[in-house]
Structure 1
């Protein structure tokens, strides 16, 4: 199971939200690039980046911070938030991102997601963010009538690198991930599934690793790393 430390960007700073609420943001580092360097030094092999402002604006907002992160470390990084057209996908992948995460676009223009997958094999992930199993888009501000599983199944044959599943009601809460929903998604799909939201302790990672007969491909960790509830070395040892 691969671990992805999260760097969520708001106003050029590294923050964590509570249940996706922009009004409930805690700043953990004024320098996202320095935070990326710290994660690299701790031994992580990947980074998970989110342009929170971009997710609401529908276009990149924290581009300068993302570029600073890419300049500061050689770790493969994936980015989501505000990526709504091919020009933006082209731009970021050309800048050196390992892959981009398409969420709102997966709901509103699935044909474009398929086109991007064909153009960039293995470099497009679909982000599925859900409340009570139903997908939310536009920075989690807009609910849809599409279930997480139904949306994921639409892309099983598209060449998507991974499904990144976030339980919005667990995100930033330190209440533990929704292991059951994540495992059900992993068991129902042929695509790799990465869990996001709620990891608060090593035991959460143990449960994710053991679930779905070991088919959950990775886990994103945010607040628990920043406040020390999860020790990076112990987490990496468990994942390995």
Structure 2
């Protein structure tokens, strides 16, 4: 199982939110590349980066910060938030981003997802952000009316191999992941990267035993609730 530290960006800074609420912003690093280098030096092989403003506005905003993260370390970098067209995907690939996370367009533009999967194959990851079993889009602001497992199965038909599943109600709450929701989404047969609420080594071991493909760690790392080395040793 891959352990993936998260870096969320607003206004060029590394921040964390609670339940995706933009009014709960806490700044942890003025320069997100400092966080990336730290996690890499501690053993992370992949880093999860989200342009939160990009997700909300529909286009990448913090490209300079993302490029600086890319240049700060040799970890694989996955990026999401505001990737809504081919031009943005090509820009991110040009600056060396390894994986592109598609969220809203998986809901609203299946043809584009199909086109990108054909071109970039496993480099495309679908982000499924769920609350009470239903998918939220556009920076978690808009409800899609689509069931999370239905979307996962639709994406599988298009050739998607990996999804990031986030339970919004657990995000930033430090209360553990939604195991029941994860059990449901694992029925898709896709590689599932779990996100939201992962707080303890016990959480990580339980996810590993469920055959979860990866775990994204956010607030637990930044608040010191969870030590990255302990998390890496657990898998």
Q: TM-score, normalised by structure 1?
A: 0.96
Aligned pairs for 1:24-35 (under 5 A) are: 24-35=24-35
Local SS of the residue matching 1:185: helix
**Uncovered stretches (5+) of structure 1, i.e. residues with no partner:** none
Aligned pairs for 1:96-175 (under 5 A) are: 96-175=96-175
Local SS of the residue matching 1:209: helix
| 1:191 Cα deviation from its structure 2 partner | 1.4
Structure 1 runs of 4+ aligned residues shifted over 6 Å read none
Which residue in 2 is equivalent to 1:217? 213
Which residue in 1 is equivalent to 2:197? 198
Matched pairs, number: 235
| 1:184 Cα deviation from its structure 2 partner | 1.9
Q: Give a deviation string over 1:116-138, Cα, whole Å, max 9, x none.
A: 01011211000000110100000
Aligned pairs for 1:74-113 (under 5 A) are: 74-113=74-113
Local SS of the residue matching 1:120: helix
Local SS of the residue matching 1:60: coil
| 1:179 Cα deviation from its structure 2 partner | 1.5
Which residue in 2 is equivalent to 1:52? 52
Local SS of the residue matching 1:156: helix
Q: Does 1:233 align with 2:229?
A: yes
| 1:183 Cα deviation from its structure 2 partner | 2.2
| 1:25 Cα deviation from its structure 2 partner | 0.8
Alpha-carbon separation, structure 1, partners of 2:116 and 2:95? 16
What root-mean-square deviation, in Å, do the aligned CA atoms of Structure 1 and Structure 2 show? 0.8
Alpha-carbon separation, structure 2, partners of 1:183 and 1:73? 34
Local SS of the residue matching 1:9: strand
Alpha-carbon separation, structure 1, partners of 2:194 and 2:155? 18
Q: Does 1:208 align with 2:215?
A: no
Q: Give a deviation string over 1:206-231, Cα, whole Å, max 9, x none.
A: 111112xx2x1000000101111111
Q: Give a deviation string over 1:39-64, Cα, whole Å, max 9, x none.
A: 00000100000000000110011111
Q: Is the 8 A contact 1:123 1:161 kept in 2?
A: no
Q: Give a deviation string over 1:171-215, Cα, whole Å, max 9, x none.
A: 0110111112112211x122100000001111111111112xx2x
Q: TM-score, normalised by structure 2?
A: 0.98
Alpha-carbon separation, structure 1, partners of 2:214 and 2:44? 12
Which residue in 1 is equivalent to 2:5? 5
Local SS of the residue matching 2:75: coil
